[in-house]
C-alpha cells in the first residue's frame, strides 16, 4: 500500500494547542512556507557545523558514565541517560539552550520534567481530542477558550494546562534572549549556548532577512522550539537505547562495531562529519535498527481532500472482483503502518523480521527499489515521506552516530538478569518484566573497556 504524503496531513489542532504554530501544528500553505524556511537549516553544510556541539554533549555523557563504572561493571538505566542526552543535544544544537549538564548532582530542568509528563497527561484526553477538539477550537476567541480552560475544575485539565504553559514560557524566554543576542551582533551570539550555530539562531537570522511573503511570524518561530524538542527527544533517545539493547544481545556485532571505530580512530582523534558518515558498519546498524524497530510504529493521517489510494497488490472484493485502488473521501482518518512497510517480506525477503545489519553492506533486493517507497530515508517509512516527512532525519542520524561512536569505544554493554520488553506506546519504550513498576527503563550492565 502506498500513500502520498502530500494527499494526507496529520490532525494538527491538538498539536497547535500544545506546541504552537510550528511544523506539526500547521497545514497547507503555512506548513509549506515553514518548511521552505527550515530546509536550508538542515542542510549538510549546517550539519557539519553542529558536529562540535554533538561531541561536547557526548563527552559530558561519557564522562559521567566513566565515573559510574570507575569501580567496575555497574547496572545502569541506559534509557534514563539517553533521554537526558537527547534533550541536551536538541537543546544546544536545536534551540541554543542548555537544559542539563548530564551529571548526577544536578536535578532535571523544569522543562525536561514537564516534557516527560506531557504525553501521559495528554493521553487522558485521547477521546476528547479525537472527537470534540475540532468543535471546541471553533468556539469564541482564543482568550475565551483559555478562560473556559482556566475555570474547569478538572485536575487533569489543570495539570496539562500547566505543563503546556511551562513549555511555552520557556520557549518565549529562549526566543527573547536569542533575539537580543542577534541584535547585539555576532560576538554576543557566539557567546551563547550553540555559538550561533544552532538551528533557531540560523532560522531567526534567515527570517529577519527574508521577504515579507516568505518570513514567519514571531509565533511561528517560537512554535518551532517546542516542535523541535517534541520531535527529536523521545524518538532519538529511544532509538539509541534500542541499539544499545540490541548490541548487548549481540556481542559479536558490538565487537565488530568497536573494531571498526577503533581502526578508524587511528587516523583521527575525533571524527569529523565525513569520517563519521563513512563508517559502513555503524551506518548499517543504525539503518537496520530503524528498519526493524522504528521508534514510531504508526502515524494517523487525515485526508484533506477526496483522493484515491493505489494498492501495490490487488485485493479481491466480496463480489470476487479485483480491487486495485481505494477511494478516500475528504476527512477520512487513515493509519499509516510504518512497520508493515519496513518489515514486508515481499520487499525485504524471508528474513525481514530478523535484525541483520549486513543486509545494508550489499545491494538491497530489487523488490525494494522497484516498490518506489515514498520514504525520505533508505527506502524506509521510519521518517515518513512527502511534504510532511521528518525534516530532521539527517540531524537525528548524526546525533545517534556521534553518541554511539563515543560509547562503544569506551564501554561494553551486556544484558542484566532481568526480562526487558518494549511497549508500543506513541514511541516504543522499554520496561522490565515482573517488577511491579510501570516506569520506562532499560537496565544494562555497563563495563569500561
Per the annotation, binding residues for heme are: 390
> How is residue 200 written as a grid cell?
533557531
Do the beta carbons of residue 433 and residue 416 sit within 8 Å? no
Do the beta carbons of residue 60 and residue 98 sit within 8 Å? no
Torsion of CA 341, 346, 349, 350, to 10 degrees: 100
**CA angle 79–85–87, rounded 5-degree value:** 105
Residues 243 and 444: their CA atoms lie apart, in Å, by 12
Residues pairing with 279 in the sheet: none
Q: Where are the alpha helices (DSSP H) in 233-365?
A: 234-249, 251-265, 273-277, 280-292, 338-342, 345-348
Residues 6 and 254: their CA atoms lie apart, in Å, by 40
Which of 190, 173, 183, 188 lies closest to 204 in space, CA to CA? 183
> How is residue 440 written as a grid cell?
520506562
Q: Which residues are annotated as a binding site?
A: 390
SS3 category, 420:
strand
Residues 233 and 112: their CA atoms lie apart, in Å, by 10
Helix axes 251-265, 280-292, angle to 10 degrees: 140
Torsion of CA 316, 321, 325, 328, to 10 degrees: -90
Amino acid at each position: 500500500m502506498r500513500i502520498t504524503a502530500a494527499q494526507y496531513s496529520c490532525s494538527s489542532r491538538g498539536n497547535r494547542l500544545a506546541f504552537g504554530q510550528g511544523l506539526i501544528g500547521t497545514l497547507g500553505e503555512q506548513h509549506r512556507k515553514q518548511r521552505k524556511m527550515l530546509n536550508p537549516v538542515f542542510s549538510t553544510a549546517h550539519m557539519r557545523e553542529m558536529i562540535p556541539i554533538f561531541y561536547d554533549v557526548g563527552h559530558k555523557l561519557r564522562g559521567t558514565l566513566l565515573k559510574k563504572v570507575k569501580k567496575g561493571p555497574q547496572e545502569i538505566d541506559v534509557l534514563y541517560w539517553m533521554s537526558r542526552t537527547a534533550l541536551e543535544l536538541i537543546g544546544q544544537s536545536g534551540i541554543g539552550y542548555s537544559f542539563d549538564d548530564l551529571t548526577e548532582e544536578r536535578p532535571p530542568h523544569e522543562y525536561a520534567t514537564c516534557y516527560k509528563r506531557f504525553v501521559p497527561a495528554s493521553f487522558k484526553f485521547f477521546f476528547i481530542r479525537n472527537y470534540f477538539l475540532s468543535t471546541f477550537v471553533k468556539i469564541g476567541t482564543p482568550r475565551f477558550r483559555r478562560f473556559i480552560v482556566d475555570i474547569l475544575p478538572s485536575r487533569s485539565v489543570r495539570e496539562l494546562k500547566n505543563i503546556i504553559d511551562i513549555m511555552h514560557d520557556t520557549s518565549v524566554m529562549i526566543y527573547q534572549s536569542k533575539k537580543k543576542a542577534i541584535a547585539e551582533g555576532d560576538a554576543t551570539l557566539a557567546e551563547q549556548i550553540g555559538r550561533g550555530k544552532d538551528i533557531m539562531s540560523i532560522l531567526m537570522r534567515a527570517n529577519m532577512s527574508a521577504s515579507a511573503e516568505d518570513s514567519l511570524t514571531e509565533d511561528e518561530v517560537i512554535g518551532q522550539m517546542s516542535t523541535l524538542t517534541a520531535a527529536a527527544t523521545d524518538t532519538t533517545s529511544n532509538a539509541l537505547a534500542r541499539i544499545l539493547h540490541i548490541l548487548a544481545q549481540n556481542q559479536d556485532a558490538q565487537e565488530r562495531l568497536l573494531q571498526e571505530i577503533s581502526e578508524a580512530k587511528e587516523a583521527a582523534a575525533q571524527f569529523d562529519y565525513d569520517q563519521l558518515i563513512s563508517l559502513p558498519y555503524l551506518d548499517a546498524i543504525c539503518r537496520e535498527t530503524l528498519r526493524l524497530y522504528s521508534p514510531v510504529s504508526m502515524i494517523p493521517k487525515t485526508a484533506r481532500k477526496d483522493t484515491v489510494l493505489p494498492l501495490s497488490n490487488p485485493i479481491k472484493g466480496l463480489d470476487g472482483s479485483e480491487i486495485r485502488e481505494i477511494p478516500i473521501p475528504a476527512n477520512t482518518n487513515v493509519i499509516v503502518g510504518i512497520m508493515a512497510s519496513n518489515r514486508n517480506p515481499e520487499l525485504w525477503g524471508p528474513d525481514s523480521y530478523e535484525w541483520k545489519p549486513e543486509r545494508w553492506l550489499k545491494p538491497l533486493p530489487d523488490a525494494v527499489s522497484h516498490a518506489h517507497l515514498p520514504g525520505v530515508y533508505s527506502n524506509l517509512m521510519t521518517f515518513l515521506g512527502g511534504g510532511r516527512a521528518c525534516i530532521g532525519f539527517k540531524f537525528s542520524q548524526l546525533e545517534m552516530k556521534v553518541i554511539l561512536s563515543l560509547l562503544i569505544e569506551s564501554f561494553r554493554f551486556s544484558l542484566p538478569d532481568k526480562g526487558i520488553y518494549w511497549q508500543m506506546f506513541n514511541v516504543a519504550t522499554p520496561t522490565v518484566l515482573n517488577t511491579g513498576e510501570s516506569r520506562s527503563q532499560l537496565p544494562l550492565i555497563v563495563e569500561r573497556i
